[in-house]
């Protein structure tokens, strides 16, 4: 790029800007370094509290920017957001918002938009989990979904469903308080154990089905829409708890809160109707639970292969013979699971109570041997999730009479990928009790894999590999080994996300792919059109209207995909319209959620009518 100002509006430009931040026109070919110099300057010039970033691509912004210099997104409609707060600041804000009721102990989970903390409820003398959404890092639909999750779960009172106790907020901070479940996910059990014993499978199946039947039977039925092993917890008492109603459908909602490009689960547990963007019903949850039961019995979900192959298999492939994979499965259980996985919802069980009645499944008592076995498995793995590492037990200079002590390191997870951040807590254990360890210094060997803040205890994964993190202080030291995986695509969005074109008109689309830590991902993009006779798309994402009609333009990026609706009219009238179809996680975990056509967001006062739903996205071209 020549010169230092925009030729259109005169706005000052930086060498790595891909778009003018004043008028939004392209000023250079966009690459992975787009906005990099701007990022450095923003981070150096502004405090954390004053920084802003683009909601579309997370690029940093200067005050007064009207367009994002990295992706060209407009900021006039609220596409500007405060950067996620540090773990330390979130802690203090929660305590301030709750007027000191909740005393934050440690962070137990973190995603790109918020975190979960373990806290003491000082009023009721119990431990709780606080799920936080940093409002500055969200748009209205995400905040609306977050608030709806809290209200939905708060109205569900069943022993198999996590309970919500309170909702609160302060400024841009939004949170809700729920049960703290000491245990591990069913996904963790499957990874560690493989196929589970038949009594455990039946116990989990009963408990989750009973909780779902209760939710489905409400005056405004609640359909979970994201049943998968990672959303099912087994606690250290051997009880099963259903979590995460963040994408649930309540009653006959006509407005959906999902967004193009949000990955919220794994394709392995999606029903055929979800893949095809058809309306969801309680039968949708039944299908997903059937896929979970298949995984518990065989150690793997019913369909394997690439992301795209799994989506196609849900719609077209017969369910593999579960008895061929495991000979000891009772015939009636195998037949029940196969019926749960029927392609047509009408061919599944009429409802989950009928399933439980026909299988003669019953709840287990706390003293049942199967309950004890589940509790033992959960406890053994839970102790590995909250990492306790001690080395070099020595005499502590702070202890009277030369009392020995040890340093205990606690992490919320040992499964990190590049871009993740967690808070590391360290405590000094002595015969007189446990107290926070002061004056701790941190190091890692080899360096370059994690970055540690000695003041806040925040750890950021910056490179892939295995490293040993060591804490030293008060005469003792402790260490823990961590493995960091490469960042994976966690969300994909198409910009612009919906168009009305005239025949013969062309527009360049862009696919923005981010990791769960908000890092831009440079994965190969593959573009496709659901109807090439209506809309053609090049390998670089340029779309061209050919004749009147509607079609979906789909982009595949890593394990994620996004779809945007394009309508072609004979007259020239280019305008933005709501997108139809969403690509949904993970987790890296990478499940996908698609919203039904009736859920397409439409402004109530605009009079706009959403375009007809497109056919399901086509598979990507086969690679040679």
Q: Active-site positions?
A: 226
Residue 453 burial by Cβ neighbours in a 10 Å radius (0-12, 13-18, 19+): middle
436 strand-pairing partners = 427
242 strand-pairing partners = 161, 232
Q: What is the spatial distance between Cα 579 and Cα 601, in angstroms, rounded to a whole number?
A: 8
Coarse DSSP helix, strand, coil percentages of the chain, rounded to the nearest 5 percent: 25, 30, 45
Strand (E) positions, 431-504? 433-436, 441-445, 450-452, 458-461, 465-473, 476-485, 491-495, 498-502
The two tokens of residue 590 are: 């990478």
In a 13 Å sphere around the CA of 23, the CA atoms on its Cβ side amount to 12
Those residues whose C-beta lies under 8 Å from the C-beta of residue 47, and which sit 6 or more positions away, are: none
Residue 125 burial by Cβ neighbours in a 10 Å radius (0-12, 13-18, 19+): exposed
CA-based end-to-end distance of the chain: 36
26 strand-pairing partners = 19
Q: What is the spatial distance between Cα 258 and Cα 591, in angstroms, rounded to a whole number?
A: 13
Q: DSSP secondary-structure letter at 3? A: S
Q: What is the spatial distance between Cα 273 and Cα 416, in angstroms, rounded to a whole number?
A: 33
C-alpha distances in Å from residue 498, one per residue of 260, 428, 511, 540 = 10, 56, 13, 17
Q: What is the spatial distance between Cα 289 and Cα 283, in angstroms, rounded to a whole number?
A: 10
- The CA-CA-CA angle for residues 591, 152, 129, to 5°, reads 75
Closest CA to 515 of 476, 495, 486, 549: 486
Q: What is the spatial distance between Cα 591 and Cα 266, in angstroms, rounded to a whole number?
A: 3
Give the per-residue SS3 of 235-303: ECCCCEEECCCCCCEECCCCCCCCCCCECCCCHHHCCHHHHCCCCCCHHHHHHHHHHHHHHHHHCCCCC
Those residues whose C-beta lies under 8 Å from the C-beta of residue 488, and which sit 6 or more positions away, are: 417, 515, 516, 521, 558, 559, 588, 590
Is the CB of residue 580 less than 8 Å from the CB of residue 565? yes
Q: What is the spatial distance between Cα 265 and Cα 588, in angstroms, rounded to a whole number?
A: 8
C-alpha distances in Å from residue 11, one per residue of 3, 44, 166 = 11, 21, 48
- SS3 at position 49: helix
Buried-state track 460-499, b at ≥16 Cβ within 10 A, e below 16:
ebeeeeebebbbbbbbbbbbbebebeebbbbbbbbbbbbb
Our CA dihedral for 329, 333, 335, 339, rounded to 10 degrees, sits at: -130
Buried-state track 355-380, b at ≥16 Cβ within 10 A, e below 16:
bbeebebeebeeeeebbebbbebbbe
């Amino acid at each position: 790029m020549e010169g230092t100002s925009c030729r259109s509006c005169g706005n000052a430009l930086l060498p790595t800007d891909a778009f003018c931040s004043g008028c939004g026109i392209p000023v250079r070919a966009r690459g992975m370094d787009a906005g990099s110099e701007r990022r450095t300057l923003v981070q150096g010039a502004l405090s954390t509290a004053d920084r802003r970033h683009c909601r579309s691509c997370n690029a940093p912004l200067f005050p007064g920017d009207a367009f994002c210099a990295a992706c060209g997104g407009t900021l006039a409609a609220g596409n500007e957001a405060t950067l996620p707060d540090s773990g330390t600041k979130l802690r203090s804000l929660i305590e301030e918002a709750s007027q000191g009721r909740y005393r934050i102990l440690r962070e137990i989970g973190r995603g790109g938009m918020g975190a979960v903390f373990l806290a003491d409820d000082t009023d009721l003398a119990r431990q709780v989990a606080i799920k936080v959404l940093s409002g500055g890092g969200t748009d209205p639909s995400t905040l609306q979904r977050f608030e709806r999750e809290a209200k939905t779960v708060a109205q569900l009172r069943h022993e198999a469903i996590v309970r919500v106790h309170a909702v609160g907020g302060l400024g841009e901070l939004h949170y809700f308080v729920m049960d703290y479940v000491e245990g591990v996910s069913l996904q963790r059990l499957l990874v560690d154990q493989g196929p589970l014993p038949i009594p455990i499978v039946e116990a989990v199946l009963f408990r989750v089905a009973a909780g779902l039947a209760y939710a489905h039977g409400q005056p405004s039925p609640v359909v979970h829409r994201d049943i998968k092993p990672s959303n099912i917890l087994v606690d250290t008492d051997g009880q099963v708890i259903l979590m995460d109603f963040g994408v649930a459908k309540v009653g006959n909602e006509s407005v959906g809160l999902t967004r193009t490009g949000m990955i919220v689960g794994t394709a392995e547990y999606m029903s055929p109707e979800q893949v095809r963007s058809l309306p969801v019903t309680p039968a949708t949850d039944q299908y997903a639970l059937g896929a979970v039961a298949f995984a518990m019995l065989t150690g793997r979900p019913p369909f394997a292969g690439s992301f795209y192959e799994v989506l196609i298999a849900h719609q077209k492939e017969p369910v593999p013979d579960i008895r061929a994979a495991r000979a000891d499965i009772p015939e009636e259980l195998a037949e029940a699971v196969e019926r749960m996985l029927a392609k047509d919802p009408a061919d599944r069980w009429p409802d989950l109570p009928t399933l439980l009645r026909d299988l003669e499944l019953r709840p287990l008592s706390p003293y049942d041997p199967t309950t004890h076995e589940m509790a033992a498995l959960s406890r053994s793995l839970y102790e590995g999730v909250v990492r306790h590492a001690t080395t070099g037990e020595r005499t502590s200079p702070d202890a009277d009479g030369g009392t020995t002590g040890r340093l205990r390191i606690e992490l919320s997870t040992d499964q990190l990928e590049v871009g993740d951040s967690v808070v590391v807590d360290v405590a000094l254990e002595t015969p007189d009790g446990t107290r926070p360890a002061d004056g701790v210094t941190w190091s890692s060997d080899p360096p370059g894999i994690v970055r540690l803040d000695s003041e806040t205890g925040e750890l950021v994964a910056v490179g892939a590999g295995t490293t040993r993190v060591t804490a030293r202080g008060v005469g003792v030291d402790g260490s823990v080994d961590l493995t960091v995986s490469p960042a994976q695509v966690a969300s994909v969005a198409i910009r612009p996300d919906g168009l009305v074109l005239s025949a013969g008109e062309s527009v360049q689309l862009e696919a923005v792919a981010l990791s769960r830590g908000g890092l831009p991902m440079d994965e190969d993009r593959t573009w496709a059109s659901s109807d090439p006779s209506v809309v053609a798309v090049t390998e670089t994402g340029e779309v061209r209207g050919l004749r009147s009609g509607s079609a979906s333009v789909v982009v595949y990026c890593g394990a994620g995909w996004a779809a945007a609706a394009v309508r072609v009219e004979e007259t020239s009238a280019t305008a933005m319209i709501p997108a139809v179809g969403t690509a949904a996680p993970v987790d890296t975990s990478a499940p996908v959620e698609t919203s039904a056509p009736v859920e397409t967001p439409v402004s109530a006062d605009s009079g706009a009518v959403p375009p007809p739903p497109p056919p399901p996205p086509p598979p990507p071209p086969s690679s040679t």
